[in-house]
Structure formats: C-alpha cells, structure tokens
Chain A
Amino acid sequence: MKSFKYGDEKITDKEILIAVPSMIIGVGVLSLPKQITETTTAADGWISILAAGLFTMVMIWLTGKLAASFPNQPFITYTSTLVSRPVAMFLSFSYGVIGICLAALIMRTLTNIAKQYLFTQTPSEMIALAFLLVVVYAVAGSRAGLFRLNMMFFPIIFFITFMVLLFNMRWADPNNFLPVFQSDIRGYLNAATDSVMAYMGATIFLFYVFLVKQPEKTPKMLALGMGFPIAFYLIVFFLCLTVFGNVATSNMVYPVIELAKRVEITGGILERIESLFFVVWIMAVFNSTALAIDTSLLALQPLFKKVSKEKILFTISPIIFFIGMFPEDFKELQDFQSIFGIIATAYSYIMVIVLFIIMKVRGVGGSG
C-alpha cells in the first residue's frame, strides 16, 4: 500500500521535468531570434542555439548530479560540507541576489512588452506592480504549489505556441535558409553567448533537488527537461527566419510575438492573436519569475534563520520592484540585461563546475 504522501511538500521527478522548461522559457526567447540574426547570416544561428543548449544541458546535468549526491540536503548544508560554512553562506547569499535581479529583469521586460502590445497608456509601474503582486501571492503559498502551477500552465502554453507555429507554416520560405555556413566564428560565438543567456536559470535547481524524495533519476530528468527549451528555441528560430528572413528578423524587437501577429484564423472570433499569445505567454513568464523569487527565498532563508519566509518575501519584493523600475528606457534595460546576464551565468556555471570538481576530488557525497 502506498502511504498518503503525495499531498506534502515533496516534489516528484515529473514535476522537475516540467519545471525546467517552465523556468527557462520566459521572456528571453521572445527576442532571441533577433539577437541571433544580428550576428549570423541566414539560418546559421541554429548551430549556436544548439551548441549553447547542449552546453546548458551538460551544466544542468552537473547541477542535478551535484545536488542529488546529497539527497534531501538543502544547498547550504551540502555546500558547507564541500567548501566550509562561510563560503557556503556567501554562495547562498549571492544566489539570493541573482534571484532578485533575475525576477526584476523578467518583470521589467514583461512590462515593456505589455506596454508595447497591450496598452500604451497605462503606466509601467502599474503593470509591473500587478504582476509582481500575483507572483508574490504564488510564492507566499506552498513550494510544491509552485511546481503544480508549472504543471497546470505548461499544457496551455504548449498548446498556444504550437498553434502559432502551425499557422505560420504556410508562410515559411525555405529559401531563407540559404546561404549556409557563411557566418564567421565571432558571429557564432556572439550568438552562442546570447543563447546561453536565453537559457538562463538552469542552476536554480541546486536549490530544489533536495525537495525530491529519491533524487537518483533527477539529473537525467533535468537534462531531459532541458530538451524542451532547446527544441522550442530551434523551432521558433527556424520559423522566424523562414517567415521573415534574416534581415527582417534582426530588425524586430520581439520576432516571436510578430509571428503570432501573422496568424489569421479564418472564420475566427479573434482577428489577431498576438495579444492572446502574449497573454498566455504571461503564464510562462509568471512561472519563471515565481521560481526565481522562490530561489532567492530558499537561498536567503538559511542566512536569516529567525526571520520567517513571509518576512523575507515582503522585504525582497519591494527591492525587486525598484530594481525592475530602475532602467529608464529600453536601452538601459538592455544594458542591464546583458551585463547581469553575463555576470550571473558565468558566475553560476563556474560555481557549479568548481563545486562539482571539489566533490569529485574530495570524494564526499552519497552515491548520487
């Protein structure tokens, strides 16, 4: 007899599998084809996207392997075993900051897109605040609830994206693929860097694996879950490219939403579905933001043991709001995005690799 345990705060492998695309697919992909086509010719960017994806897949597998070697131990505990407590506390704190900045960044980008596609009159602050309040409501609830939300929104997001892609098929022009392999190495590298940042968020699972009861299969599940964003990014990129062509794509701010704009459902009740697509996309963005904030909660909580989860949450949410509102315009937001992106991704990946090497050298940790 199975005991009545699925109702508690543990998460399952299936939920981990869905959480990976839920975390990674967010606002990044909406502008990814533009960034890629800026530095590569024709469709060559797919190599960068694939390479960056595979790299992230390896990293997420390492993340899972590292965390799963210490089953049911939170981040701070096992890093303390590996690199002493003060260092572990620093690492944890830095992750708290990364989570806050990431959430702020996503929130602000979403606000900008909403302003561009949904309403031009409403002040950004109101749009951002409403979104942030909903996210805070979610994070204040149970942690397992967040993963359940991922599970509930994933099919909806998948469905609407699939529809958008499907309806765009007929405009796809294969000639836009040509010429192949004309980009230079620098272009590939730039595109790959952009792609790595679009896959940002993979290392948050350092903090979540301890919620999995038997994490033997978790690294595999994480890597498998990484397959969704890779496939999704590739398909989106190919479609943008074949529908719009390289030059046009590089001149659009959010080519993916422009894809949705082209959808025409004959006899439909709705004429243009880009607003609808974006509205559903808010769910995906919501998932990423909620997980980012929750990660920083998980990272900060062990440092302030006497403070309750809610108090930390209510302290960091205004900070998130102010950081998010800090960039004055689109240009500053982009600068913030690229600087933060490079620092955060480089920092977290180096940290995972170093921690993993230390674990292997010292031979600590369970059988994994």
Chain B
Amino acid sequence: MPIRAKEGRATKWLIEGDDVLRRSLMKRTEKKKDIQKERVHDQPLKTTIEANISDLKQILGDPDDLVVRYFTVGDKEHAAAIVYINGLIDTALVQNNILENLQTKTLELKEKEAVTLFDQLYREFISVADTEKSSTMEKVLSTLLSGGTVFYLDGISEILVLNTAGGENRSIEEPVSESLIRGPRAGFIEDIGTNAAMIRREIHDPSLRMKTHQIGERSKKTLAVFYIDGVIHPEILAEMNRRLDSINIDSAIDSGYVEEWIEDSFLSPFPQIINTERPDKSAAAILQGKAVILVDGSPFALIAPIALGNVLQSPEDYYERWMIGSFIRLLRYLGAFFSLFLPGLYIALVSYHQDLIPSELAFSIAATREGVPFPVVVEAALMVITMEFLREAGARLPQTIGQTIGIVGGLVIGDAAVQAGIVSPIMVIVIALTAIATFSIPLYSVAIAFRLIRFAIMIGAAIFGLYGIVLVYIMVNIHIVNLKSFGIPYSTPFAPTFKHDWKDLVIRAPLTTLVKRPSFLQTKDQRRGEKA
C-alpha cells in the first residue's frame, strides 16, 4: 500500500521532519498487526504428547534439527518427552539437570494423577533455574526457537518451558571499531546476556533498571533498555518505550534496525542515536542520565538521547588527564572543520577568489595546476571519489590486503595521477589531509555524515564560491536547530544554552569541577557523586 498522499505533504516534511511520514507508516503497520493476530498460534495445547508433537512438527515443518526425546517418569511409567532444537541449547544442562533427574530420580514416585505428578516434577526434579509453566503453542514455539527446552507430560495440557539457551559465543575481545590507547579493553559481544552483565559489572547501583522488549514479528528478539531510575528524565524514558513498542519489523538483525525505527528524523544525515561497542562508554552514558539499548545479536549498543557535542567525544577524553583530553578534543573539532570544509574552501579559493590567497602561494598553486586539463571542481570530485573508493575497498578487504590497497591506491595512484598531469599535487595534499582529518572523528556513523555534508559544501563552493559555502553552512545549521533526539534539541548545549555543560563540550574540564550531570538531559538527580 503506498503511503497516503496528503495535501501539502512536501511542505510538512520540511517542518515536522518526518513525523508525518512516520505516522502514516505507523498507520500502515497497525493494520498489518490486526491481520497477523489471526495467524498467531495461540490455540490451547492438547492433552496427549503424540497430538502435541505432531502439531508442533506440522507448524515447524518437521525440521531435522528438532530433537524429540521420549521417556517415562515415575513408578507408573507416565509417558513424557522433552523437545529442543539441536545446537541452540546447552547440552550438558539438559542432560544433567533435566534428563538424568527425570529418568533416574523419579523411579520411586508412586503418583498416579498426571496433574499432581506434573506439579511435583516442576517443584522437585527439574533443576533449571529459569522454568515456568505454560499452556499455549505460541510459548512452545518462542521457547524452542530461542534455545529453550519444552517438557511434555502425557495426559495434561500444560507444559514446562525451560530456559536452556546455550551454544557457542564469541569471547570478549577488544572492540575493533573503537580502539583506545588507555581504557578498558573489553567490548560487547553478540550475546545480550553477556552484554547486560558487562553493564551491570560497571554499575552496581540498585537503581539501575533493565527493561526488556520483544521485537520482531517473525523472529522475536530481546531488546533491553538500561537506565538509572531517579536519574533519567521520565519523559525521555516514556518516549523511548513508546517508540520501541511501535517497532514493527520481521526481525532486528542488528541494532541498526532499531536505531532507524526509533530515531527522530530519518531524513537527517546526523545520527540522533550513537552506537558503541564499549561497555565503559555505555555505563558512562547511563550515569549521565541517558539510556542504553542492547539488542540481542548485536555487539553495538545504542545510546540516546544525544546532542551535537556528543558526536565528537571519545571515552579517552576522560581517561587521560584533562589537559590532554581537552587538547585532543580541540584537535578533533579542528579535524571536523577540515573534514567538512577543506575541499570546498580549496575549490572556492582557487576557482573564485584567487585574490584572497597570498600572492606567493597563489603562484605556486598556479604553477602546480599548469597542464591540469580539468577545472578544479572536477579535479576535486575525481580525487574525493577515488578516496571514497579506497576507503570502502580498504574496509571490506581482509586486513592484510587492506593495507596493500592503501599503499597501491594512495601512493601509487596518487603519484601516478600527479605525474600524468591529471591532478595537481596540492589537490592530492588537500584530499589526503581531508581524509586524515575524517579519521580523527571517533564515531564512524558521524564520519559518514560529515562525508555527505562535505559533498554538499563542495557543490555549494563550485556554484557560488565562498558565498555557496556559507549558504550550505547556514542550511546545515538550520537543519541542526530543527533536529531533535528524543525531544532534546540537537543543537543544545550551544543553543538552548546550558553554560555548565560547556565545561565538557569543546574542552574537558577537570573531573573535580564536573560536579553536575549534563543539564541538557534535565536529570532528576542533578549532582554527580553523593546521593539525593
């Protein structure tokens, strides 16, 4: 169904961003939900094992990795079965704590009635911590598919679902995308249980809350929101839960799916939620009054709400001494400036405002450009796109070959291009400097956004010179002041101004002076340290 064309939709987009679009999408998904409800397997279970198992096999299509183990319990030899999917469970747990107990220790049981026997088994014989009774097919399915084991007893329509999820996990390693020189070395892995534990290990506060949601229509995935009750602003939390409940997708393969569903504006190049592989960074965000979202199967946690200042911060700013932290942060701001403006400025200066360049420099630029057949815009576009290719190729290839690409691409092609007279050496310097500056931005998703804006600035510079650059710059600012992250203006704490937050914005003041949590988050407990 196409999105309903509304009168003045195009203009609405400008104003409320994509809220209109989002709403119409939601309307669409609500309808879909109604249809799906009818398909859900919520019929009650039958009383015989045979009937139940054949129903189950029919729904699942009798997969080969579905293990059904029949056995008998008790003196009266009641038929029973456990069902699980091979590979998803912790085999040792199922063998030692379920099967062995049920087969050997129940021999003495004289119970005749299935109902009371079932109850006794639940209370005394099944030694799995996370066990509950249930009686719907839906529960059976969700348990099996998420690595649980289901216990059937003949003659009763109730079952036990046992959480026996296991299987292989990657071990905890140093995060690849955010390596630090100083700071904890641990990074999140794909398993949400381990990740949650890593956050809990950082924050021992009894007010630390973990609220789970199940998302995905076809594949239910666990998603957990972490926050500190009494610190986070309740409206932010309510809004976050509302948005998480509105997610309607088949499955969240990675936290990126969740991010795109719950962010404020998907028409913006700027991330309104930042992702991190680092438990320490997540914990610091939670302590500031933000919320952290973990999605099962993704090593990237989501941090929200954020503001513009956050995108250029790195945990290391806080681990090194404050002067060094501040210096590095200033350097990063400079890097961001170069990354955005350098190619655009070069284009504007060389093709429109040669008079601004000091005469000696102007001569040397003119000398190097001699024989270059293209206008400077084409030259720059050529180099920037080559740079993007190199970057993408380097990231995709195995690490050892990736380095070769860097050398072949960067050095050989760059040098050959200059020798062939296609580009000027100064252009190579400009582009290389831009690329290096981009690498100084700590978050990959922010660096991508900057790359996009750099193109816009280059186009502006090509059409209008410096005038074009400033117009694009103003447009980016307009976009930023209208952008929000969970209701918090993206441009804060610059505007709306929170002076206290400036201590931890462009510079990082000594920790001893950062006595308050960021004011822009409007936390309930405003002071760090002592408890209210």
Contacts and interface: CB of A to CB of B under 8 A. Distances in A.
Interface of A: 1-4, 6-7, 12, 14-15, 114, 118-119, 122, 127, 130-131, 134, 137-138, 140-142, 144-153, 268-273, 275-276, 279-280, 282-283, 286, 308-311, 314
A114 B467 contact: yes
Contacts of A269: 357-358, 361
B468 interface: yes
B495 interface: yes
A130 B361 contact: no
Given A6-B496, A119-B465, A280-B470, A134 B475 contact: yes
Interface of B: 8, 11-12, 14-15, 233, 235-236, 352-353, 355-359, 361, 464-471, 474-475, 477-478, 481-482, 484, 487-489, 491-492, 494-497, 522, 524
Contact of A275 (B356, B361, B468, B484): B356
A141 B474 CA distance: 13
Contacts of A272: 355-356
A270 B359 CA distance: 10
Given A148-B495, A271-B358, A4 B466 contact: no
Contacts of B355: 271-272, 275
A221 B481 CA distance: 23
B500 to A, nearest CB: 13
Nearest to B235: A4
Nearest to A309: B15
Contacts of B481: 141-142, 145-146, 148-149, 152
B465 to A, nearest CB: 6
A18 B205 CA distance: 42
B331 to A, nearest CB: 18
Contacts of A146: 481
A142 B482 contact: yes
A316 to B, nearest CB: 14
B478 A145 contact: yes
A149 B236 contact: no
A286 B492 CA distance: 21
A127 B233 CA distance: 46
B361 A283 contact: no
Interface on chain B toward A: helix, strand, loop, or mixed SS? helix
A314 B488 CA distance: 29
A130 B14 CA distance: 17
Which 5 pairs show the lowest CB-CB distances between chains A and B? A151-B495, A148-B495, A310-B11, A145-B481, A141-B482
A7 B239 CA distance: 14
Most chain B CB neighbours (cut-off 10 Å) among A6, A12, A146: A6
B484 A14 contact: no
B465 A12 contact: no
A282 B470 contact: yes
A28 to B, nearest CB: 20
A276 B466 contact: yes
18 contacts: A4-B236, A4-B487, A6-B489, A7-B488, A114-B467, A137-B478, A140-B15, A142-B15, A145-B478, A145-B481, A149-B478, A150-B495, A151-B497, A275-B466, A279-B470, A282-B467, A282-B470, A310-B8
A14 B487 CA distance: 21
B482 A152 contact: no
B468 A308 contact: no
Contacts of A2: 522
Given A6-B496, A145-B482, A118 B477 contact: no
Contact of A15 (B468, B487, B496): B496
Contact of B353 (A134, A153, A275, A310): A275
Most chain A CB neighbours (cut-off 10 Å) among B353, B465, B466, B495: B495
Contacts of B352: 118-119
Contacts of B12: 310
Contact of B11 (A148, A151, A314): A314
A12 B496 contact: yes
